[in-house]
Structure 1
Amino acid sequence: MQGGGLSRPPTPESAVNAATPHLAPAPAQGPAATAFAQDVLAGLAAPRKTLSAKYFYDSAGSALFEEITRLPEYYPTRTEFAILERHGAEIAALLAPGGALVEFGSGSTEKVRRLLPHLPGLGAYVPVDVSEEFLRSEAEDLGRDFPHLRIEPAAADFTRPFALPDDLPEARMGFFPGSTIGNFEPETAATLLGHFARTLGAGASLVVGVDLVKDKAVLDAAYDDAAGVTAAFNLNLLRRINREIGADFDLDAFAHRAFFNENLARIEMHLVSRRDQVVTVANVPFAFREGETIHTENSYKYTIPGFRALAARAGWEGRAVWTDPDGLFSVHALTTTTIRRH
């Protein structure tokens, strides 16, 4: 999940799965012909069953995620908002007057709205998101509130090469809030940061929200809240599979499990089979043992030096970092050092 694991803004189509599944044969027609179905069938056929976190966000899942961000246990969203509000002027100072702000995986405009009041001379804002209809709707709303701002929506999967709008100012700053970086395996995260450097060009800066390693009890509670909202969010993925692909998951036969894996510095979310059972998905049967899990998401947590080292491998140098008083979350400012080619 974005924003620290429950990271949200619409997830790109190439977002990393909890684990890389082995491909499995699937019917070529009917419901199983969709990319969603192919990914589900492949993930459930893997030696360790997995489902991609990018499929959490149907309408019900998106509503549940918004509810999660308001839970007392779930600190990332409100903590990052507070950092952006408190240090917005310092962050904005990284971008030369007249420059362009490029937000990767923009989703809603909630976070960028914390920065825009500090950027009165902004030359252009480029929100990048795979969901074109939502992207343009958000851009129109933002344009009404900032009528003099040049807004250039780019409908694209930000994890893949894409073209920035023509005539964009040369001074550029990337914006990647929400701790979405934590949803990628570290090697993939480094590759993604390198891709951002190439996209923005020489001399660019990048502002990234990064969730921090902290007390295990705080992390476990954030992903397994007392009200059971995160459990409902996780189980809703099975409901979506039943509805859209044609499956017979019994949601009462699976339980939510989330925990901080200290050895790998990541939250893991799983769905645990409560009994031995066989589930049919698009006419393909899958056997589950009691206690067997479906791995649905990872959310990596970093120390400040650890994230800076990761960024350095991708050609970025740490310039500044801001945190909250409790050291729960961080916002990093990076500048390009070298741009590594594909």
Structure 2
Amino acid sequence: METITTTTDLTFEQDIDEGLTAPLKNISSKYFYDDLGSVIFQDIMKMPEYYPTPCEFEILSLQGENIIKKLNFDEPFNIIEFGAGDGIKTRQLLKKLLENQVDFTYVPIDISQKAIEELEANMLGYLPGLKIKSIVGNYFSMIDELSEMQQPGLFLFLGSNIGNYLEEEANDLLGQFNNHMKSGDKLLIGFDLQKNPSVIRDAYDDSQGITKAFNMNLLQRINKELGGNFKKEFFDFYSHYNPLNGEVRSYLVSLKQQEVSISKIGKTYSFRQNELIWTELSKKYTIAEIENLAINNGFELVEHFLDCKHYFTDSLWTK
């Protein structure tokens, strides 16, 4: 087992300043996942309303054999997972690979050191024969380094993470993946599918307030790391799903006219009563949209692996 720690991305201050001075204030969802945010997200994944996790768990548990057959690698390869989290879903696929005596090295990447440490402990406790080479860092900065790996690669971008990107951003990210993948490399990518709007609404605005806490932690992170003086009691959480375009958008709402100072930036930001801070996009796709996304970014679709309810797909693409 080997863990590599990369230089932390130094754009947090700039991103927060730009976001809080934009016409529609915003905080990038990539900042959800500090150590506390990662813990809260584990709680979200355990909620009965939050269907993406059990749906993808089902796919990777029950369709592992079919996925392995479609990989078509005839030599040792790397499995590179972007935003690995706790890895509970992924280990279902890894377990199946080990049972089939497939020679591979697992390379999880996560921005949270704590998440990686817990992932390694859980993985090796459950799969003691696993070869693991972890990387702590922002996966956007890892793409160049990963492209230098000599062995073929299966890239994992699971959990519907692609849904957090606007269309232009999603195409840019997938284009970067394609540019740094070798011919024959594979990408297994998770997509949350469009479905009954009430199912999606309940998953993103739960009655327990866990999703609210996840969003509020953004303000706490700014306070802790940048010397902000946000008071969470002066903000609320709101989430909205538009079934016409498949977008869930989440916001923090200023409950009063107020000013917030951030000492490390050296600025004070004004908020109107009821002004919004956009925190997250979570797009739900149609199968046709997924296939167009693959083609437009230079990939060939191998197969869609869907759960029994057809709520979710892990789609396998090849370069």
User: Mean Cα displacement is larger for which, 292-301 or 102-111?
Assistant: 102-111
After TM superposition, give the deviation of residue 276 of structure 1 in Å: 2.1
Q: Is the 8 A contact 1:129 1:157 kept in 2?
A: yes
2:144 maps to what in 1?
162
Task: Provide the TM-score with structure 1 as the length reference.
Answer: 0.80
SS of 2:49's partner is coil
Cα deviation digits, residues 118-176 of structure 1 (max 9, x gap): 22212333323445675466446535654544433345533243223877434x32221
After TM superposition, give the deviation of residue 246 of structure 1 in Å: 2.3
Cα 1:320–1:138 shift into 2, 3 Å: same
Separation in 2 of the partners of 1:141 and 1:165?
A: 27
Q: Is the 8 A contact 1:130 1:155 kept in 2?
A: yes
2:4 maps to what in 1?
none
Separation in 2 of the partners of 1:53 and 1:126?
A: 23
2:27 maps to what in 1?
51
Matching of residue 117 in structure 1 with residue 95 in structure 2: yes
User: Mean Cα displacement is larger for which, 154-163 or 118-127?
Assistant: 154-163
Cα 1:121–1:98 shift into 2, 3 Å: farther
Q: Is the 8 A contact 2:109 2:135 kept in 1?
A: yes
Matching of residue 176 in structure 1 with residue 157 in structure 2: yes
1:271 maps to what in 2?
252
2:76 maps to what in 1?
99
Matching of residue 71 in structure 1 with residue 47 in structure 2: yes
SS of 1:197's partner is helix
Separation in 1 of the partners of 2:129 and 2:184?
A: 26
Separation in 1 of the partners of 2:125 and 2:147?
A: 21
In percent, how many aligned pairs have the same letter? 36
Q: Is the 8 A contact 2:248 2:281 kept in 1?
A: yes
Q: Is the 8 A contact 1:269 1:295 kept in 2?
A: yes
Cα 1:323–1:255 shift into 2, 3 Å: same
SS of 1:162's partner is helix
- Count how many residue pairs are aligned between Structure 1 and Structure 2: 305
Separation in 1 of the partners of 2:148 and 2:223?
A: 44
Partner AA of 2:299 in structure 1: W
1:339 maps to what in 2?
none
Separation in 2 of the partners of 1:54 and 1:229?
A: 18
Partner AA of 1:317 in structure 2: E
Separation in 2 of the partners of 1:305 and 1:166?
A: 33
More helix, by proportion: 2
Task: Provide the TM-score with structure 2 as the length reference.
Answer: 0.86
Separation in 1 of the partners of 2:53 and 2:94?
A: 18
1:340 maps to what in 2?
none
1:25 maps to what in 2?
none
Separation in 2 of the partners of 1:287 and 1:111?
A: 42
Partner AA of 1:169 in structure 2: Q
Separation in 2 of the partners of 1:72 and 1:238?
A: 26
Q: Is the 8 A contact 1:190 1:311 kept in 2?
A: no
* Aligned residue among 234, 238, 255 for 1:257: 238
